[in-house]
Amino acid sequence: MKLRLGRFNHYLLGAVLAVALAGCATSKSSNEKKEATALRLYLESDYDTGGKTDTVPIYRSSPILVKVEKVPFLDEGSLTEAHVTDTVGGFAIQLKFNFHGALVLEQITTSYKGRRIAVQAVYTEGRWLGAPMIAQRIPDGYFTFTPDATRAEAQRIVRGLNNVAAKLGNAPKNGKKKSDDL
């Protein structure tokens, strides 16, 4: 009798552990689906126009102070998808904007060559990810920059941005492109 009871307890323990581990994996993926990231793009300002600018630190290890306008010109509301892409010597975050976002990005990059676009992300913490210089016009709605973040942080930011885009209805469904994508 003791032998069968012992086997039963081992089987029960194994089943409980299997269910518990499966539950942990499920909760991790469901937590990832709940992650959200806010993203703001700010234009560098040459001078202070009556309190409409802020000076922000870009890069954590050796900060560069950049004067930016207080109001962002683009945010996550115009974002359709984001990706972490491999580049020579590292990785970058690529953002794809909808038709409205692409028009705004094209207008800003055409009019303000030589200025910076400061990128701020708010996820578990809010911080400035980078400030790439505008070197050329961006007509296609794709904005790529190298973030001041680890690859894991970049993947977390991108996952949160894609979740927000899906929640807002901006993300392409089933791998198909939306009709307003460029």
What's the predicted TM-score (pTM) here?
0.78
pLDDT tens track for 3-14: 454 444 444 444
- CATH no., domain 36-168: 3.30.1360.200
Give the tokens for residue 165.
Answer: 């885009």
The parts of the chain modelled with pLDDT lower than 50 are: 1, 3, 5-26, 177-182
| Amino acid in position 5 | L
Distances from the Cα of 71 to the Cα of 25, 39, 51, angstroms = 40, 13, 11
pLDDT tens track for 15-52: 444 444 444 444 556 677 788 999 999 999 987 767 88
Answer whether 98's CB lies under 8 Å from 82's CB: no
